Amino acid sequence: MRPMKFSLHSFFAICLPFFLFQCEPDWKRNSGDPFTKEYWENRLLENDIVAYPRYFLVEGRVTGLYQSPLTIRSSTDGTTVTLPENGSFSMFLYGSPKYFQIEFPGQPTEVHCQVTSRGAWDGFKIFDLQITCPFAKTVVSSKTILWDRCTFGSTWNPFGNKNGDGFGDCSIGAALSLRFCSAEDGYDASTNPNACNTGSNALPVAKGAVYESCVSHNQSKVYQRENWRIPLFNEMFSVIRCSDTNTGVITGEDGCSAVGDATKYPGATADPILFPNAVADHYWGPHTFPANGDVQVTTVNFGPGNEAYIDKDIPGYVRCVSDL
């Protein structure tokens, strides 16, 4: 039998018409082209987070709210939802699940919130988006201050329920008492009382365990922030609460007794929901009390809720702040 031979001309004569009508590459017929809508729809079935815009549902949970609502918005299509209380929420929007982002056009009055988990994609919706509010918020001298709701040593737990489901608490870790300055830092009450204040009672603390506590917040980017510091003692008055209804301005050594209502919250003069583990004791400020040989620091005592002074080598507590 003679072998069959094909010339190039014969190949095109036979295959070209078939190719034009039937030989379209397989990936063009089974949604394999990444430049087609069908490709991305096919990818949805594979549970991938996709870039192709479409209508989809977002389901999540917010914790840490207190008395005022949080407004969230999709940066993709502007869909806005106001969350009046802690718990589950959902929003239906149009956009890319892959590039979906949340904005906060309306933060609550007394807390500050952030996204802690972007959630997961199941092929049809984003679920388990987590928003929580690890900061308390006050305004002092027209400056907004964000407070770590947990005393140093403990960390915000979005799912803690010490004060009720959804409020969150500081049940991760425990509050630590720290010495402002110690012999290990070069402190000597007689010869070097300002060892941790760069040698001068006019300068803020720049060394020692108290200083390092907020520095460590920056190093580990606690709650995604890197500008933590020790609050000024007068700033600490902005978080003291003498009673549920007290609206007086609390300052100085008289503290709560000066505002006409000395009824305190049980255990500490700090709101127990805003500050779940506030200790009824001294919280350090950053400056030396310029008297008595520079051996003391100006603090706020969250027991009676007043300005106080304690020796630098006596244990006290720290609550770091971040300027908004």
- Residue-number span of the structural domain to which 232 is assigned: 141-323
165's CB contacts (< 8 A; 6+ apart) are 86
**Same domain (yes/no): 311, 175:** yes
* Global confidence as pTM: 0.81
Angle at 130 between CA 279 and CA 154, to 5 degrees: 20
Structural domain ending residue among the three candidates 85, 117, 133: 133
**Same domain (yes/no): 317, 209:** yes
SS3 231: coil
Structure tokens that stand for 48 in this block: 């991938």
Give domain status of residue 286, yes or no.
Answer: yes
Residue 137 contacts residue 303 (beta carbons within 8 Å): no
**Same domain (yes/no): 158, 299:** yes
Structure tokens that stand for 123 in this block: 């092929």
What is the amino acid identity at position 266? Answer: P
Q: Specify the CATH number for the domain of residue 125.
A: 2.60.40
Structural domain ending residue among the three candidates 78, 104, 133: 133
**Same domain (yes/no): 207, 92:** no
**Same domain (yes/no): 129, 153:** no
**Same domain (yes/no): 216, 243:** yes
Give domain status of residue 29, yes or no.
Answer: no
**Same domain (yes/no): 73, 194:** no
**Same domain (yes/no): 97, 67:** yes
**Same domain (yes/no): 90, 191:** no
State residue 186's pLDDT score.
Answer: 97
Give me the tens of pLDDT residue by residue for the chain, a chain 324 residues long.
Answer: 455 554 555 544 555 454 444 444 444 455 456 566 655 554 444 445 667 888 999 999 999 999 999 999 998 899 999 999 999 999 999 998 888 899 999 999 999 999 999 998 888 899 999 999 999 999 999 999 999 999 999 999 999 998 899 999 999 999 999 999 999 999 999 999 999 999 999 999 999 999 999 999 999 999 999 999 999 988 998 888 877 666 667 778 777 777 766 566 666 778 889 999 899 999 999 999 999 999 999 999 988 888 999 999 999 999 999 998
Give domain status of residue 36, yes or no.
Answer: no
**Count of structural domains, the chain:** 2
Helix (H) or strand (E) holding 210: helix 209-219
Q: How many residues does the chain have?
A: 324
Q: Which residue has the tokens 């979906």?
A: 100
**Same domain (yes/no): 196, 317:** yes
